[in-house]
Structure 1
Amino acid sequence: MSNDPQAVTGKLLDALVEFILAEVTDRFDDVVVREIDLVLAGADSIRLGDVVDPADVKVTARIGVDQVGGSAVVSQLVVPFADVFYNLEAASEHNLGDVIDRDQVQALINAGLGLTTAQERLFERLTLSPLVAQLASRFVGSIVGDFVAGNRKKAEKLPGMSSIFSVGDKVVSTAAKVGKGQLDAVAGMGAQYALKQTESAVRDLVKNGPVEKAVLEVWDLHANEPVSELRLYVSEEENRELAELAYGAAMSTRNKEYLLALVDAWIDTFFENFGQSTVRELLDQLGLSRDDLIAEAARFAPPIIDALIANGVLADQLRQRLEPFFSSDAAIAIVAEG
């Protein structure tokens, strides 16, 4: 055996590197079980709030929103993801009703119809818009106009009625030229009246009409069809455009103080609810068992480790981290004394 302490520590380094490589290859399954059990052994006593500072999580979250959210990787995936969603083969294999439960749809409809405060606020705001009043007036006017026109065609078939309608048209035309200002004022009042009537009709429809039944009938028509049938509503190009517009809208908010305040509030809320939970309790609430952790480690780690061993990176990294100790004066002195 060499009496050179430095040579001995070098051999010890080689042996330790080989030992660790064997731990993550030949004895990997045993090591995973051992390490996870070691972590879980302390999971009953470690509280999340004691080891993780919400302020640090907020910093990380802001990095995610600012840098990752606006990265080229995310932006370049918007259209491909939209295409994948649109052309998903599984959409032809599953009916919409199998994907979304009818009971949940009905619950959402009832919840929407029950938002009386939101409805009142919406109608209140709509009445303040002159443009909405004009639209309502056109809507009502179109219905009335179609009704009158339809009945006029029938009436004109009667002897003498055609001439009467002609005289009436001339009177209206003359009145319009003489009192346009007055007619404009009346038109404005008419628009507001039409809006009130439209609002009243919508309120009555929501309150007393069979809206729930009607919406569910439409749902049932689609529920028994493949999800892919929804493509008939939007073309692939329109789907891409919508995805890009949605992404653009999201990006326009990512650096705004409001969004950052919202992220901070979410994190505070999470820690208020789970900060005093132990790691074990949190894992249980997430539905992750010991067997799940072991299975996932066995699924993802071996291919990565094999690749790192094959290209020599793992051994080099281990050696770089351990060598400073084995070449230190303290380690060499210990070997020399032995």
Structure 2
Amino acid sequence: MAKNTHSPEDIANKLLELHIQHEMKAFDNAAFSTWLSEESETVFEWLRSTKLNQLVPQQSINDTIHKNVVEREIPGSIAEVAGEAASKLFTSGQHKNTQLNEIMTSHEVEEFVDKALELKEQRQEALNRIIDLPVYTDLISGVLYQAIVRYIYDNNIFSKKVPGVSSMLKFGSNVISKTVPKLEGAVEDNVKSYISNNLGLIITESKLFLENNMTDEELKTSAMDLWDLVETKSLGELQAGMDSLDLSEFVVLGYEFWLRFRKSAYFKRSYELIVAYFYDKYGDNDLSVLFDDFMITPQRITEEAERFAPQILDALRESGQLEELLRRRLASFYTSSEALDCIKGH
């Protein structure tokens, strides 16, 4: 038998090249899909009998959220891109020409209205808070004042009810022009005084009126009447008066709010509570329970992988990145002292 004249290093390099070519063939689209399907079935079966707590501790999830959601810096360009993308959509023809009923049906609106009407306590609390707002008090005062004063003037109360005014009209317009303003001022002061003294009663009556008259049936009828008015309007009509700059500014405000809100104690308690609930529900169960609830199957995993993998693999192969990645990954083994010693021993 001829003596092998190749050095261990030469043999190791040859084996490295053969291994790389073997792996490159495995990353052919068809071969990769077959491998992924077979391996995902195997791994999936193992996972189904494994508990969530065995794989990932609950605190690890909290730590991941804190690091990646709370602490990780968010580039300002994200808000800029989001604003520009929103403006692009906001000003597009397909957006402006889309009617509201193409997005939501009357049946869906009715279901939302019915569900909202079940929140009776919240609705009553909201109405009470609105009525107690100073702006509502000012509104009621202003409406009553204008209505009463207009009634007095439009119905000639001066000439009909105020003693002496009707006879005064006989003296001519000069007398009237001097006297009526004084009477008007007195009447308007009295009206304001009356409204001020009775405002508490008026507000109470407003609450009672709304409680007695805002029935579920009337609210639903009003809501559906409103829908009938707007459902055939285009989004362009509904957004009239708001331009892309307004939308961009709202995106920036939302971005700035999120930067502050994510560091709040409320947000921390919220995500920790949700994670705790999730682990209470699934932590001690086999992952098969979670997979079934969320309809996670090997087929779905393979389908999603195959949706993107072929294009990515083609790009990696054509650019030479895939071969270089494999070479870097495998070379450290074939050049290791353990591998070379093994070759020398044979």
- TM-score normalized by the length of structure 2: 0.79
Q: How is 1:109-128 mapped onto 2 (pairs within 5 angstroms)?
A: 109-126=113-130
Match of 2:240 among 232, 245, 248: 232
Task: For 1:53-72, list aligned pairs within 5 A.
Answer: 53-67=57-71, 70-72=74-76
Q: Aligned AA for 1:4?
A: S
List gaps (5 residues or longer) in structure 1: none
Q: Which amino acid aligns with 1:160?
A: S
Rounded to whole Å, the distance in 2 between the matches of 1:284 and 1:292 is: 12
Distance change in 2, residues 1:40/1:195 (3 Å): same
Q: How far did residue 265 of structure 1 move?
A: 1.6
Match of 2:32 among 28, 31, 54: 28
Shift of 1:123: 4.5
Map 1:9-24 onto structure 2 (within 5 A): 9-24=12-27
Equivalent pair of 2:82/2:251 in contact (CA under 8 Å): yes
Superimposed CA distance per residue, residues 159-184 of structure 1 (whole angstroms, 9 cap, x where no aligned partner): 939959986763563588xxx9x998
My pick for the range that moved more, 277-286 or 213-222, is 277-286
- Structure 1 position 216 matched with structure 2 position 248: no
User: What percent of counterpart residues are identical?
Assistant: 17
Please give the alpha-carbon distance, in whole angstroms, between the structure 1 residues aligned to 2:217 and 2:148. 22
Change in 2 beyond 3 A, CA 1:232/1:126 = closer
**Superposed displacement of residue 217, structure 1:** 1.6
Aligned to 1:255, what secondary structure does the other structure show?
coil
- Kept in 1, the 8 Å contact 2:83–2:248? The answer is yes
1:210 aligned counterpart, secondary structure: helix
Name 1:298's counterpart in structure 2.
306
Match of 1:313 in 2: 321
TM-score normalised over the length of structure 1: 0.81
Counterpart of 2:173?
Answer: none
The equivalent position to 2:269 in structure 1, one of 256, 261, 266, is: 261
Q: Deviations over 1:123-161 (max 9, x none)?
A: 5445655554233322333444444444449988xx939
Written as runs of structure 1 = structure 2, the 5 A alignment for 1:69-80 is 70-80=74-84
d(CA) in 1 for partners of 2:262, 2:147: 45
Give the Cα separation in 1 of the matches to 2:333 and 2:36.
Answer: 26
Please give the alpha-carbon distance, in whole angstroms, between the structure 2 residues aligned to 1:161 and 1:30: 107
The answer as to whether partners of 2:51 and 2:287 remain within 8 angstroms in 1 is yes
Change (3 A) 1:270 1:183: same
Shift of 1:262: 1.3
Measured in 2, the distance between the counterparts of 1:264 and 1:236 equals 37
| 1:173 aligns to 2:185 (yes or no) | yes
Instruction: Name the aligned partner's letter for residue 42 of structure 1.
Output: W
Contact 1:133 1:195 in 2 (8 A): yes
2:145 and 2:192 in contact (8 A); partners too: no
In the TM superposition, 1:118-157 aligns within 5 A as: 118-126=122-130, 129-130=133-134, 132-152=136-156
CA deviation string 1:8-37 (max 9, x = no partner): 122111111111111112622222212222
For residues 31-53 of structure 1, give each alpha carbon's deviation from its aligned partner in whole angstroms, at most 9, with x where no partner exists. Answer: 22122222222132122232122
Q: Does 1:5 align with 2:8?
A: yes
Bigger Rg over Cα? 2
Q: Which moved more, 1:124-133 or 1:259-268?
A: 124-133
The answer to which of 294-303 and 284-293 deviates more is 284-293
> Partner amino acid for 2:301?
L
CA apart distance, 1:89: 4.7
**1:160 is paired with a residue of what secondary structure?**
helix
Worse overlay, 324-333 or 159-168: 159-168
CA shift digits 1:38-85 (9 cap, x unpaired): 222213212223212221111221233335573324222231232134
CA contact (8 A) 1:48 1:279 kept: yes
User: Which residue of 2 is the match for residue 289 of structure 1?
Assistant: 297
Which string of whole-angstrom CA distances, capped at 9 and with x for unpartnered residues, describes residues 224-273 of structure 1? Answer: 34444433363333333333333333333221111222122222222233
Aligned counterparts of 1:321 and 1:195: Cα–Cα separation in 2: 77
The 1:190/1:242 distance shift into structure 2, 3 A limit, reads farther
Return the alpha-carbon distance in structure 2 between the equivalents of residues 333 and 265 of structure 1.
55
